[in-house]
Amino acid sequence: MINPDLTVKISSLTLKNPVMTASGTFGFGLEFANLLDLSSLGAVVVKGITLTPRQGNPGPRIVETAAGVLNAIGLENPGVEAFISDILPELLPHAVPIIVNISGNTLDEYGILAARLNETGVSALEVNISCPNVKEGGLVFGTVPEQAAQVVAAVRANTRLPVIVKLSPNVTDIVSISKSVEAAGADAVSLINTLLGMAIDTTKMKPVLGNVFGGLSGPAVKPVALRMVWQVSQAVSIPVIGMGGILSTEDALEFIMAGASAIAVGTGNFVNPQATVEIISGINSYCSEHEVNLKDLVGMAWEAN
C-alpha cells in the first residue's frame, strides 16, 4: 500500500486531486459550503459568468428525464462585476482553486471578461464556447473550429491565467474542434458540455421547457462523454478534463482510464451533495490498493485496446 500522488497540473495550476465541480451544478460553491469542505476538492468551477447580468430563460427550466436532467437555465447570473465584488470575496477564503466559467456573445466580450478576471485571485478560466456568436447570425462558436479558435485567442490575449476550453458535444467532429483550440492557446479542454434535447408534456400537448430545448446531463450522457474523452485525449497534448454522468468512483476511473487527467462532477451533485468527496476518497483508495499514482492511470485503457 502506498500514499498515492493524486495531483494534477494544468499549466501553472496544480490541483491537489483530480475531482472538480462542473459549472452550473454547484452554484458559486458557497451553496455547498455547509455540506462539505470545499478545500478538499481539486477545484470549484463556478456557474457561468457573463459581462452583464442575465435573468435567464423563462420557466419551466428543469425537467427530469430517464437517467438524466434537461436544463434550460439560460446562464442566469449577476454579471462579472457583481461576482467580483460580492461573491468572490466570500469564496476565496475557502482555500480551493476557483475556476470561473465565462460566456460571451462576441469575441470582444470574451476578451473583456478574461481581462477583468485576470488579477482577482481566481485560479483559471473555463471558456464556454457553446454560446451563439451574435455577429454571425447566432452560429454557436463551438461548432466551427475557426470560430472556436478565435474565442480562445481572444481570451489568451487578455489573461495570464490557465485557459480551459469547454467543448460542446453537439458537433460532427469534436477532435477537430479540440485541435483548433489547442493550437489557439488553450491549456486544457473540458468535455462534454450538455447534449441538446427536449421533452414534451403529453397532457398539455406542448414542450415542457419554456425554452423548448435544453441541455441533457446525467448518467444518460456518460457513454457519449466517455467516447469523446477517449478520442480527444489521444488527439491533443494538453490535459483533458472529463465530465458527463459521473456519480461514483467507478465512473470517474473510467474517464481517467479513457484519458482524462481530471474529472468534474455535475448532475451527481444534485443526487448526492457528498459525491465529490466520496469520489476523491475512492480514487485515493483505488490508487493505494493498486500501488499506482493518478498519472499512471491516465489513458490506461488505451494500452489494453
* Domain residue limits, the chain: 8-57+74-195+216-304
Does residue 199 contact residue 207 with C-beta atoms inside 8 Å? yes
Contact 2, 86 (CB under 8 A): no
Identify whether the C-beta of residue 259 lies closer than 8 Å to the C-beta of residue 234: yes
DSSP code at position 86:
I
Fold of 8-57+74-195+216-304: TIM Barrel (3.20.20)
Element (H, E) at 271: helix 268-271
Q: Which residues contact 65 (CB under 8 A, 6 or more apart)?
A: 197, 199, 216, 218, 220
What ranges make up the beta strands (E) of 54-183? 62-65, 68-71, 98-102, 124-128, 132-133, 139-140, 163-166
pLDDT at 138 over 60: no
pLDDT band at 303 (very low <50, low <70, confident <90, very high): confident
Residue 134: pLDDT band by 50, 70, 90 thresholds? very low
pLDDT tens for 247-302 read: 999 999 999 999 999 999 999 999 999 999 999 999 999 999 999 999 999 999 99
For the sheet containing 68-71, what is the strand order?
62-65, 68-71, 213-217, 195-198
Its pTM stands at: 0.96
Mean pLDDT of 56-64: 94
User: What nine digits make up the cell of 184?
Assistant: 489557439
Out of 43, 113, 131, 297, which one is annotated catalytic? 131
pLDDT band at 135 (very low <50, low <70, confident <90, very high): low
What is the rounded distance in angstroms from the CA atom of residue 13 to the CA atom of residue 272? 28
Question: Mean pLDDT over all residues of the chain?
Answer: 94
Please indicate whether residue 287 is annotated as part of the active site. no
